[in-house]
Chain A
Amino acid sequence: MRAFSYEKAGSPAEAAAAAAESPGAKFIAGGTNLLDLMKLQIEVPTHLIDVNGLGLDKIEPTSDGGLRIGALVRNTALAADERVRRDYAVLPRALLAGASGQLRNRATTAGNLLQRTRCPYFYDTAQPCNKRQPGSGCSAIGGFSRQLGVIGVSDACIATHPSDMAVAMRALDATVETVKPDRSSRSIPVADLHRLPGNTPHLETVLEKGELITAVTLPKPVGGTQIYRKVRDRASYAFALISVAAIVQRDGTGRIALGGVAPKPWRVEKAEAELPRGAKAAAAAMLAGAKPTDENAFKLPLVERTLDAVLAQAKG
């Protein structure tokens, strides 16, 4: 790990201002992704701003009947919250399908959204990787790509976003709230938080330098049967090959978001019109234009079959 200086921020706005002042600064929340990457010198911040203890760890009702989840709410606390379990079941299901009990006790809502890819070449500093070292090339294209993305990818990068929680947040139409270094704040639909790689896979979100996530809000509950189905190489404690977050209403309409297939939680609202016609039609519409590699082409039928199982489960 490279040496760094450390400060505990006094308030969210101060944290944002401090991060803008120091070019090498990063926020640290749970630390479960950042420290892992710092040990490998994939992340080399020169200054860490600890955003724990700023009162961002509460879950509160919003005026329009939704919930406001503080950025520092731990994954365990979020999955255990009674309102979340009752009204937004897809979210705890996704959270509990990810990582381990120990990690979830530390991992935070914002940190989970901003965790970086698990592409094996991103982690292997001896290999070219455009995301880690812009312009160096992509080792995954033509390499070991079984885990990687099939849609929304580019010729520069085919990495996936590894979060389970983010997939559920996408199905729930969550919104990210931030504060910027100039103390202004803004709301970003979770759909717009992550960028597609294009030619700049190292730019992963629309957040500006120093912009701090303060909360994620969920709109009023939409009911329906809420399911998160994750398919992986082990029954527990493994990242998704693919996953399906579904909110299915009695009349067969609903919302679907996919994990493990794209650089961001993948949802195609237009494709949801196909849901009443079944998994085949809906999956084809969601994955239209997919560009799989030989090694990960299996993800396309896997999405269709998993979606089929999810729709059957929703029917009961």
Chain B
Amino acid sequence: MPTPRELEMNRRDLMVVAGACAAISAAATGTRAQPAPVGKPVLSEVSFSVNGRRHQLELDTRTTLLDALREHLHLTGTKKGCDHGQCGACTVLVDGQRVNSCLTLAIMNQGAEVTTIEGLGGVDNLHPMQAAFVKHDGFQCGYCTPGQICSGVAVLEEIKAGIPSHVSADLTGAMTATEAEIRERMSGNICRCGAYSNIVEAMIEVAGG
């Protein structure tokens, strides 16, 4: 019987193949719909660490951090939703700060420390935020969840660091993890299933509220 680890690998490989097929069919229709690129693809080297592991990659300059994670490092926990910075599904932590990995080029992240959902915790060692999402049912389909959790972890750090938000009444005072603060700060993570109220509960629990 395959171990869970092997199963996981198989599933990932399958996802990669499926991704590649999608890319090929998109390219095929793409050539008809749009003129071929004028310039030839340019390759460039970059190294950064992901979840504590250093990686050296040679990538087409166009590769976003999101595509580097998913298609090259096979860390498919980070999701591609809109690919335009609008939905937040691709949120990861870069040098401790949450960013939309779809709107940064991989090669712009030379030397960075990237943390993805896989790096926060796994089945046997859930991060407190992951555990709270499970406990409070902070998801339905689960597609936005890795981004929600990465964002959620960073939001609590931002509040601790005293970074104000649009709803902070006093710009200069201490910040607290109230429901209103969490809702405002999480507005860059869209949930199509509408699990918002449970996500807020999960975050308030982790914040110690």
A27 CB, min distance to chain B CBs, angstroms: 12
Residues on the A chain within 8 Å of B100, using CB: 32, 102-103, 106
CA distance A89 to B172 in the complex (A): 9
Known: A36-B103, A236-B187. A6 touches B44 (CB 8 A): yes
A101 with B44: in contact, given A6-B61, A46-B39 (CB under 8 Å)? no
A32 and B151 within 8 A (CB):
no
Most chain B CB within a 10 A radius of its CB, from A35, A79, A100: A100
Say which residue of A8, A80, A99, A103 sits within 8 Å of B163 (CB atoms). Answer: A80
How many A residues face the partner with a CB closer than 8 A? Answer: 39
Complex CA–CA separation, A64 to B29 (angstroms): 59
Residues of chain A contacted by B37 (CB below 8 angstroms): 2-3
13 contacts between A and B (CB under 8 A): A2-B39, A5-B61, A30-B103, A31-B105, A32-B85, A35-B104, A80-B163, A93-B166, A100-B88, A102-B99, A102-B100, A103-B100, A236-B183
| Most B Cβ at <10 Å: residue of A41, A79, A97, A105 | A105
Q: How far is the CB of B178 from chain A (nearest CB, A)?
A: 15
Contact among A36, A86, A96 with B85 in the assembled complex (CB-CB below 8 Å): A36
Q: How far is the CB of B146 from chain A (nearest CB, A)?
A: 13
* Structural contact, A236 and B166, CB atoms closer than 8 A: yes
Interface residue A76 (Cβ < 8 Å from any Cβ of B):
yes
Nearest CB on A from B106, distance (A): 11
Which of B62, B83, B163 lies in contact with A3, CB distance below 8 A?
B62
Q: How far is the CA of A39 from the CA of B83 in the complex (A)?
A: 9
Contacts A2-B39, A35-B64, A35-B103 supplied; 4 other A-B pairs, CB < 8 Å? A96-B164, A100-B187, A102-B100, A103-B85
**CB of B31 within 8 A of chain A?**
no
Minimum CB–CB distance from A30 to chain B (whole Å) comes to 8
Does chain B have a CB within 8 A of A52?
yes
Distance of A236 Cα from B34 Cα, bound (Å): 36
Task: Please name all residues of chain A whose beta carbon is closer than 8 Å to the beta carbon of B103 when the two chains form the complex.
Answer: 30-32, 35-36, 103, 106
- Complex Cα–Cα for A213 and B120 (A): 38
Contact A46 B38 (CB under 8 A): yes
Residue A186 at the B interface, CB < 8 A? no
B163 surroundings in chain A (CB, below 8 A): 76, 79-80
Q: Give the residues from 91 to 111 in chain A that come closer than 8 angstroms, CB to CB, to chain B.
A: 92-93, 96-97, 99-103, 105-106
| B42 CB contact (under 8 Å) in A3, A102, A237 | A3
How far apart are the CA atoms of A4 and B38 in the complex, in Å? Answer: 10
The residue that B97 contacts in the complex, of A2, A82, A89, A105, with Cβ under 8 A, is A105
How far, in Å, is B134 (CB) from chain A's closest CB? Answer: 23
Residues in chain A near residue B184, CB distance under 8 A: 236
Question: Out of B38, B44, B107, which one reaches A2, CB within 8 Å?
Answer: B38
Q: Could you tell me the distance between the alpha carbons of A243 and B65 in the complex, rounded to whole angstroms? A: 34
Residues of B within 8 Å of A105, CB to CB, are: 97-99
Which A residue sits closest to B42, measured CB to CB?
Answer: A5
CB distance from B31 to the nearest CB of A (A): 14
- The CA-CA distance from A6 to B165 in the complex, in Å, is 35
Q: Does A308 contact B (CB under 8 A)?
A: no
Q: Which B residues are in CB contact (< 8 Å) with A102?
A: 85, 88, 91, 98-100, 151, 188
CB distance from A3 to the nearest CB of B (A): 4
Question: Closest 3 CB pairs between A and B?
Answer: A100-B188, A236-B187, A3-B39
Which residues of B in the span 155-207 have a Cβ within 8 Å of any Cβ on A? Answer: 155, 158, 161-166, 168, 171-172, 183-189
Contact with B along A27-65 (1 / 0, CB 8 A): 010111001100101000010101010000000000000
With A3-B62, A92-B164, A102-B151 known as contacts, the answer to whether A237 contacts B171 (CB < 8 A) is: no
Closest to A97 in B: B166
Within 8 A of A (CB), among B35-85: 37-42, 44, 60-62, 64, 83-85
Question: A2 to chain B: which residues have CB within 8 Å?
Answer: 37-39
Q: Is B20 an interface residue (CB 8 A)?
A: no
Interface contact B171-A85, CB-CB below 8 Å: yes
Taking CB atoms and an 8 Å cut-off, the chain B residues in 89-111 that contact chain A are 91, 97-100, 102-105, 107-108, 110
A86-B189 Cα distance, complex, nearest whole Å: 30
Residues of A within 8 Å of B154, CB to CB, are: 101
Contact B108 A3, beta carbon cutoff 8 Å: no
**Identity of the chain B residue whose Cβ is nearest the Cβ of A38 in the assembled complex:** B62
Cα A8 to Cα B171 in complex, Å, equals 36
Closest Cβ–Cβ distance, residue A236 to chain B (whole Å): 4
Question: Does A1 sit within 8 A of B, measured CB to CB?
Answer: yes
> Contact: B105 with A101, CB < 8 Å?
no
Which residues of A have CB within 8 Å of B166?
A: 93, 96-97, 236
Give chain A residues whose Cβ lies under 8 Å from the Cβ of B98: 101-102, 105
| A237 and B105 in contact, given A6-B61, A93-B171, A106-B99 (Cβ under 8 angstroms) | no
